[in-house]
Structure 1
């Protein structure tokens, strides 16, 4: 990296910060999707169990 130093958020540290933020965002999205999938799965299993009971 050539040129004048632009403080702590220049060059590699900016990339590291962006990578951290995007990884955090991905984690949130993944967690939300997994949670909704598990809720839907549990709901369908409850429905199947109710059908078996009848």
Structure 2
């Protein structure tokens, strides 16, 4: 499974919310956070907290 699919699976399981700490725990490079924010796939809510468009924060 590639990193993007792994991130999407975590978002699905967490109600659309993911933290940078979860990235670190799952050994996913945090550059994917930056890339997904730039492409609009994730929205940065606060330091270390990200949601997708269907996330409820």
TM-score grouping bracket, smaller chain normalisation: under 0.3
Which has the larger strand fraction?
2
Normalised TM-score (structure 2): 0.25
Which has the larger helix fraction?
1
The structure whose RCO (Cα within 8 Å, separation 6+) is larger is 2
